Amino acid sequence: MAKNEGGQEKTEQPTGRRLRKAREEGQVAKSQEVNSFAMILAGVATLLTFGGYLGDKISEMTVGIFGALGTIDLHVGVLQAYAYEGLAYLATLLFPFFLVFIVVALAVSFWQVGFLFSTKPLKLKLNKLNIIEGIKNKFFSKNMLVDTAKSVAKLVVIAVVSYLILKDVIFESVGLLAFTPEMILSYMVDSAASFTWKVGIALAVIAIIDFKWQKRKHIQDLKMTKQEVKDETKQSEGDPTVKSRIRGKQMAMARQRVNVEVPKADVVVTNPTHFAVALEYKMGSASAPKVLAKGVDRMALRIKEIAREHDVPIHEDRELARALYKECEVGDEIPESLFKAVAQALAYVFRQREAKRKSIV
């Protein structure tokens, strides 16, 4: 089990934040075996596609060079000119190969890790200047031993597969003495093709295994201790103590706002115990009724208490109280869908208020 510098076991899966940070630093799961297999496959495909054309052009160039040897005055300048011309000609011919390799390398890298550009791996780290540590990490680290074991296993697999294929080819080649040149050439092409796709299958299996191994190793390397998970949670979500203090201040501000706003209300709609919403409506105004305060449970009890202290009518309507609390924020005008229900509540309150006023008179 992996441990951190403090000796704690890394038992927890890496968090999303840990994975993002590792990616920003260029730490991603990437298999070089997948890249190697893709490059070999691209090379074989390109040869099959352009091999005939490439062979013809090289033959033409060779014939032209040797055909002109008897007609030119050979000296250093001429040989240099022929060399430069030949190199330029070969570069032009091989350009499709290089282009395919570049495109394939970029495509495979993108498939493995997506778009990633990070300069952090290039930054100079002082601990890398430690020669002893560098030698230790280079030649005696666990990763180096694993990479060496993988390379040896790869060579063994390819050697065994090659031996099993070539053994039959060598045995069968004894009978080629009775074949015509065309038949020998055909046999060689078929044998080469068979050898290529069989070795290709072996390389594909190695690439798949290594790809899965790199993914697993990447997650194992990024695993966290329980304490690291707790610390990261505090950083991302905030310290619970600080959050509790903030909630306390918010509640105090809400109580203060309720003390100021509820006495201005024309009615408090309740459900009757869990929800309370204080509404204000100015008679003759074109505006809709507005929510001055709202609360649930203890805050709802406080709103009703203040309403009673200031003779603000309390109207019990379960459905309306829930709807107002859910759909409206403090300071909002009520939505059109609640106009009718609120109008009925206000009308009832105004009638009660008018009746009370007349009784006093």
- At residue 49's C-alpha, the angle toward residues 43 and 51, to 5°, is 80
Q: Is the domain of 220 the same as that of 338? A: no
Q: Is residue 244 part of a domain?
A: no
Q: Is the domain of 211 the same as that of 337? A: no
pTM of the model: 0.48
Rounded Cα–Cα distance for residues 104 and 178 (Å) = 43
Q: Is residue 6 part of a domain?
A: no
Q: Is residue 243 part of a domain?
A: no
Q: Is the domain of 29 the same as that of 165? A: yes
Amino acid identity for residue 96 in this structure: P
Q: Is residue 245 part of a domain?
A: no
Q: Is residue 9 part of a domain?
A: no
**Into how many domains does the chain fold?**
2
Report in angstroms the alpha-carbon separations of 153 from 37, 145, 158, 210: 16, 12, 9, 11
- What is the mean pLDDT, run by run of 10 residues, along the chain of 361 residues? 59 80 79 84 78 72 67 67 76 80 86 72 56 58 72 81 77 70 71 77 86 86 81 66 70 80 90 87 78 89 90 89 90 88 85 72 53
Q: Is the domain of 151 the same as that of 189? A: yes
Residue-range definition of the domain harbouring residue 135 = 16-232
Amino acid identity for residue 275 in this structure: F
Q: Which residue has the tokens 């968090």?
A: 15
> What CATH number does the domain containing 346 carry?
3.40.1690.10
Q: Is the domain of 277 the same as that of 161? A: no
Q: Is the domain of 167 the same as that of 87? A: yes
> What number of H helices and E strands is found in the chain?
11, 4
Q: By the 8 A CB rule, do 223 and 11 touch?
A: yes
Q: Is the domain of 54 the same as that of 188? A: yes
- At residue 196's C-alpha, the angle toward residues 215 and 209, to 5°, is 15
Q: By the 8 A CB rule, do 2 and 218 touch?
A: no
* pLDDT at residue 275, rounded to an integer: 92
Q: Is the domain of 267 the same as that of 191? A: no
- At residue 45's C-alpha, the angle toward residues 43 and 50, to 5°, is 90
Q: Is the domain of 225 the same as that of 264? A: no
Q: Is the domain of 262 the same as that of 225? A: no
> First vs last Cα of the chain: how many Å apart?
87
Q: Is residue 330 part of a domain?
A: yes
* pLDDT at residue 276, rounded to an integer: 92
Q: Is the domain of 177 the same as that of 43? A: yes
> Residue 166 CB: number of other CB atoms within 10 A?
13
Q: Is residue 328 part of a domain?
A: yes
Strand pairing of 314-316 and 290-296? unpaired
Q: Is residue 247 part of a domain?
A: no
Rounded Cα–Cα distance for residues 224 and 15 (Å) = 8
Q: Is the domain of 209 the same as that of 295? A: no
Q: By the 8 A CB rule, do 263 and 306 touch?
A: yes
183 phi-psi bin (left φ>0, alpha ψ -120 to 50, beta other): alpha
194 contacts: CB under 8 Å, gap ≥ 6: 165
* pLDDT at residue 269, rounded to an integer: 92
β-bridge mates for residue 278, sequence order: 268, 293
